[in-house]
Structure 1
């Protein structure tokens, strides 16, 4: 919901840093994979009961996720780079709740399962909309240059990262936060489905 506003604040410094890294010969895919590795390290720390320690690699991984796009904008985007970025993002976003479930299956299992299902629903609606929009030749610059058509929603990347930070700071709140966020994700998925029905026709 707030990603388009946040991008206006974070894109200029990211573009400057990304441009410097690109000129130094750092590749976007290397940064994507480094961010992915940091995300998985955060998940491992969470699973072993160290959520506060997980905050550092988690946030560094999200920084890398912003930098890879900035590097690609300077050095040139590739289809594989876009594919790799999206795939790694989805894996990390699903793995973080899984880490909390593994850390405490009894307390977090049900809420974690619902949250993951809501991520699946929201992500599926997002990707399906993007696929049809691309086939129709639709374009959007709301989130800057993207590999695929980006349709906004009630909950996007910024809100999800904020949720993960809250999970790490207050792990005992995982279940209520997951239930609430999961419900909103289902609402967001439904809104995207309704938008698709309005634009693409019944």
Structure 2
């Protein structure tokens, strides 16, 4: 829901930084992998209970996640680069809730719920992108991407804000996860409903 607004704010400085980085020979895929490494380091910090460190590293990882696209736009976008980016994003999104469960096993039920909601939401997102590609649909509402980014109640910006709140208030992980997971289920359900109206051809499969 907030991605389109966030892109308008962050894209200009990211694009300037991306052009500067591209001029040094740094590739977009290198930045993507750096962002993933930082994200996993943030998750490891959560497991160990270093939530302040986790928050700083998490924010750095999301800056890298924005910079890889900027570097790609300044050089040359590739289908593999977009594939690598979304795959690393999904690994990061799963690693953070898992880290809270590993830090405190009493978080297991809420962690399983929110991870299941991520799985459902991610499947609805990627499936929608495949159908949009088949129907030659395009959008730049969430920036210039390698695949179709369908909007929704919860998007990347909201997920990062959720993780920030978890790092600031780790003791409320269960409550926040039940709420956020429920909203993820709603987001995926609404996307599925929208797809049924837009892409239905009168067949079940």
TM-score range, shorter chain: over 0.9
- Determine the structure 2 residue equivalent to 1:111: 110
Flag as ranges the 4+ runs of structure 1 deviating above 3 A. none
- Determine the structure 1 residue equivalent to 2:33: 33
- Determine the structure 2 residue equivalent to 1:16: 16
What TM-score do the two structures reach when normalised by structure 1? Answer: 0.98
2:82 is aligned with 1:82:
yes
- Distance of 2:56 and 2:5 partners within structure 1: 24
For residues 120-131 of structure 1, the aligned pairs below 5 Å read 120-131=119-130
**Runs (5+) with no aligned partner, structure 2:** none
- Determine the structure 2 residue equivalent to 1:169: 168
- Distance of 2:173 and 2:52 partners within structure 1: 13
- Determine the structure 1 residue equivalent to 2:183: 184
SS in 1 for 2:146: coil
> 1:51, CA displacement in angstroms?
1.6
1:67-113 per-position Cα deviation (integer Å, ceiling 9, x unaligned): 0000000101011111111100000001000000000012x110000
- Determine the structure 2 residue equivalent to 1:137: 136
Aligned residues: 201
- Determine the structure 1 residue equivalent to 2:192: 193
- Distance of 1:60 and 1:16 partners within structure 2: 17
- Distance of 1:46 and 1:181 partners within structure 2: 19
- Determine the structure 2 residue equivalent to 1:96: 96
SS in 2 for 1:153: coil
SS in 2 for 1:151: coil
**Runs (5+) with no aligned partner, structure 1:** none
